[in-house]
Amino acid sequence: MEGSLGSGRRSGSDGQPAPPKISPATEELQSRLQETLDLLSSQELRSFRDHLKKVEPRVSQVKLELEGRSPSGLAGLLAKLYYPPAAAKRVLVQVLELLPRADLLPRWQSAPADCPVIPRKIPKRSYDCVDGELDHYDLSGRRKAFLMCVKKNRPGAHQDVVLMKDWLNECKFEQTLCIDPDKMDLLGKITSFRDGLNEIKDDIGCCLVTLMSHGEEGFIKMRDGEKVSLEDIFEMFNNKNCPALQEKPKIFIIQACRGERRDSGVETDDEPMDLDDGSEKKRLPTFSDYFIIYPTQADHVALRDPRTGSVMIKEMTEVFKQYGNKWHIADFFTIVNNRVVHRDFNLYNKPIKISLVMESTLTRFVYF
């Protein structure tokens, strides 16, 4: 089944855990760093972050966006990563030389000659890949989306539909809606949607399927309680059954419970929420180029607020408003998950926590 949820209280006044205390030496380094960063224009600050990623792969794009958007936040991040000060001086000189901001260099060029050089870590993230090592999908073709939502007995579901339609419009998807279907309605409409993709094969760039309803592990439920297997739906779009999508991204956003287990967090006393349980041809694997996002772990409930809609749907649209389409989809949902994980909720006066789950067989990056 799928349940609905209410908004909960964050662990801090701004929804984030209280920051750890830092040492006086680190605090002094952070202050010096901020003095320099405050002298950069907005454009120079953006360039600083871009050059920083090239100079030091240990600085992840996600951390830069979450912690380094402002001069103070970036100074704090650098102070944590590059203490002692000699290491920070080395990094600052390298980045400032690339801007260029020669007027700021004297502040940091006084580093001692025996300043230790911190070895770089092996790049592990998508944005650290060598040029040409991994490409992005060509989404210049038509982007087609199938949006199914069961509103019956799911307060807040209407808001989910509104948010998803707006998000799909922003990402330039043509939409096919399927609202409150029974099992035969859904199977008929999604089959027709899939067949339509095969008919315009050369014009397709990407397919996105969103399914929002009650559910349980491996199934999603219709308005009358009938169950449809998620594996059956995924299979409809594989390389055998949907050749139009061979080597093209197939994105699935599932907003439904995957069971009845609940993950408790710290004590809170917020209002209760409801839950979502309810030439020579090459060969390809049968299943490839998939990206599936679930709102919760296997066998666990998902959360939906009767007033504002599902937690995952609301957060993904908020992140998109803030960052737009600059993120590869896996990194995008990593930021969404960061926000979800650090929120505390109550379900019937009992604490509950959730974490999104991503499954991927993508072979390239996806940028909407």
Torsion on CA atoms 193, 141, 201, 286, rounded to nearest 10: -80
Sign of CA dihedral 250, 256, 262, 266: positive
Cα distance between residue 152 and residue 368, in whole Å = 31
Unique residue bearing structure tokens 């409409």: 189
What are residue 291's DSSP bridge partners?
251, 360
Rounded CA separation 172/161 (Å) = 16
Residues 339, 213: Cα–Cα separation, whole Å:
22
Torsion over CA of 357, 359, 363 and 365, rounded to 10 degrees?
-20
Q: What proportions of the chain, in percent to the nearest 5, are helix, strand and coil?
A: 40, 20, 45
- Looking at residue 179, its amino acid is I
CA angle 21, 24, 27 (to 5 degrees): 75
Q: What token pair was written down for 327? A: 């993120």
Q: Which of 214, 242, 300, 328 is catalytic?
A: 214
Question: Is 158 noted as a catalytic residue in this protein?
Answer: no
What is the separation of C-alpha 238 from the centre of its chain, rounded to a whole number of angstroms? 23
From 178, 257, 300, 328, active-site residue: 257
C-beta atoms surrounding 348 within 10 Å: 11
Looking from the CA of 141 toward its CB, the CA atoms found within 13 Å total 17
The rounded distance, in Å, linking the Cα atoms of 339 and 329 is: 16
Distance CA 222, CA 217 (A): 15
Q: Does residue 317 contact residue 163 with C-beta atoms inside 8 Å?
A: yes
Burial tier of 256 (Cβ tally within 10 Å: 0-12, 13-18, 19+):
buried
* Residue 328 is a catalytic residue: no
Q: Taking every pair of C-alpha atoms in the chain, what is the biggest distance, in angstroms? A: 74
Residues 6+ apart with CB under 8 A from 181: 148, 150, 189, 222, 223
Place of tokens 């093209």: 248
Return the active site residues: 214, 257
